[in-house]
Amino acid sequence: MKLLHTADWHIGRQLNNNGISLLADQNFMLNEIISIAKREAVDGVIIAGDLYDRGMPPVEAVKLFDETLTQLLFENQIPVYAITGNHDSAKRLQFGQEFFKRQHFHLVSRLDDAFQPVETDEAQIFLLPFIDPIDARIYYQDKDIRDIKQAIERIVTDMKPLFKPDKAHILVTHFAVAKGKDDDALREQMLSETTRTVGGLTTLTSDLFEDFDYVALGHIHTRFASPTEKIAYSGSPLIFNKDEAKRGDIKGGYLLEISAESFEKTFIPLPVYKDFLVLEAPYQTLISKDFYNQYPRHQVRFAFEILVEDRKELEGINIRAQLEEIYGEEIVDLRIRETNPREVSRKVKISQKGSDLSDDVLIANFFQEMTGGQNLSDYQKEVITELLSEIKEEN
């Protein structure tokens, strides 16, 4: 069967999380996904979690998702296979699941429903939503399930007896999965996209999922973090922040042709609604005609990293106003970077003390300060991580 693997739509998200709406971009992107699905005549579109950006998405985001589903399911009879991610509210998205299923919108948000794969002629599609260890403890009535690795081991073990040998076994899920235990580069990338440092360290490894013919992952927003060819992230379909723009990431989804005997996977790039350029230069360069005329000013979005030896260089200049006049009003981010090494190291120290740190690291530091240098035990860390994620879900 032919499937389009996508993930992390994050409908309703703002660019750099700073108030610039991405709704028009998302509208364009979703129409592209619909056209690809039609053109390739796929048998289904996979959304591997984080359908929305928040548990309580804005009205326009819900409307856009609704229109997209209508196009896929009713106008084109293309089934949708989806799960909830850590950004979605599993409880809210549970509404209507039974009705939706009958219209071929297969959305799973509870662990209980992960053990009834969707059966097609050629495949079994297991939909395993993002869960916390506590969900597995409740489901299995087993308080010894301490971390996500133990939870997933148990779940996969229970899925395997359901495998039908003449079909391809596909898993759709939403976690940080590393290639092996020592995959440090990947771990770093994961930490940059999740705030849960401690939770992020107990990542899953790809050997857990070896028995599946394909694992369609969501959660990490770049496909380059994929642990293997068959256990893969599609990445998000849009650039969401400056770091991705700076790397020049090309976004898209994977087209799969899969059966019990065969497997083929092709990356399909998505066109961009509006470009996002990150320019890094001294201020005088940025405002010189020869430099700025190379760029599509007033047509795309920009972020600036202004390199200075000393901040005094910029005193008395209304930087934003001047740059807006030259480049247009969509300035996503504006930063001044001191190139004097002494200054840089001082700045790093200050920012490490502040809000750049994730909540669990802040708590660990606080604990150390209060106890005269003691460290949290692994168990304490885990409890804190879990509490933090529960608090976040409530918001």
Binding site for Mn ion (CB under 5 A): 8, 50
Contacting residues for 265 by C-beta, under 8 A, at least 6 apart: 214, 229, 230, 232, 254, 255, 256, 257
Question: CB-based contacts of 9: which residues, under 8 Å, 6+ apart?
Answer: 26, 30, 47, 50, 51, 52, 65, 236, 237
* CA dist., res. 83 & res. 57, Å (int): 16
CB of 48 to Mn ion, least distance (A): 9
From the DSSP assignment, how many helices (H) and strands (E) are in the chain? 14, 18
- The nearer residue to Mn ion, 54 or 104, going by C-beta atoms, is 54
Least Cβ distance, residue 333 to Mn ion (angstroms): 20
Where are the extended beta strands (E) located within the chain?
Answer: 2-6, 14-15, 20-21, 44-48, 80-83, 105-108, 118-119, 123-127, 168-174, 177-178, 204-205, 214-218, 231-233, 252-258, 263-269, 276-282, 301-308, 331-338
Alpha helices in 167-209 (DSSP H): 184-193, 197-201
Shortest Cβ 261–Mn ion spacing (Å): 33
Is residue 79 within 8 A of residue 41, CB to CB? The reply is no
Q: Which is nearer to Mn ion, 305 or 393 (CB)?
A: 393
CA–CA separation, 211 and 213 (whole Å):
7
CA 359 to CA 381: how far, in whole Å? Answer: 11
Provide the pairing of β-strand 231-233 with 214-218: parallel
Q: Cβ of residue 320: shortest distance to Mn ion, in angstroms?
A: 30
- 117 or 218: CB nearest Mn ion: 218
Max CA pair span of the chain: 72
Given the complex with Mn ion, which of 195 and 205 has the nearer CB atom? 195
Q: Which is nearer to Mn ion, 29 or 364 (CB)?
A: 29
Q: How far is the CB of 29 from Mn ion (least distance, A)?
A: 15
**Choice between 10 and 230, CB closer to Mn ion:** 10
Residue 165 near residue 260, CB atoms below 8 Å? yes
Expressed in angstroms, the distance from the first to the final Cα of the chain is: 39
CB of 207 to Mn ion, least distance (A): 24
Strand order in the sheet with 276-282: 276-282, 301-308, 331-338
Q: Cα(393)–Cα(277) distance, rounded to whole angstroms?
A: 33
Q: d(Cα 387, Cα 380) in Å, to the nearest integer?
A: 11
CA angle at residue 201 from 381 to 377, to 5 degrees? 25
Structure tokens at 393: 């879900």
Q: How far is the CB of 51 from Mn ion (least distance, A)?
A: 10
| For Mn ion, the closer CB: 270 or 363 | 270
- Is residue 48 within 8 Å of residue 10, measured between CB atoms? no
What is the nearest approach in angstroms of Mn ion to the Cβ of residue 50? 4
Please report how close the Cβ of residue 134 comes to Mn ion at its closest, in angstroms. 21
Whichever of 22 and 168 has its CB closer to Mn ion, that residue is 22
Q: Which is nearer to Mn ion, 8 or 213 (CB)?
A: 8
Q: Least Å distance between CB 218 and Mn ion?
A: 6
- Name the residue whose CB lies closest to Mn ion: 50
Indicate the residue among 90 and 364 with the shorter CB distance to Mn ion: 90
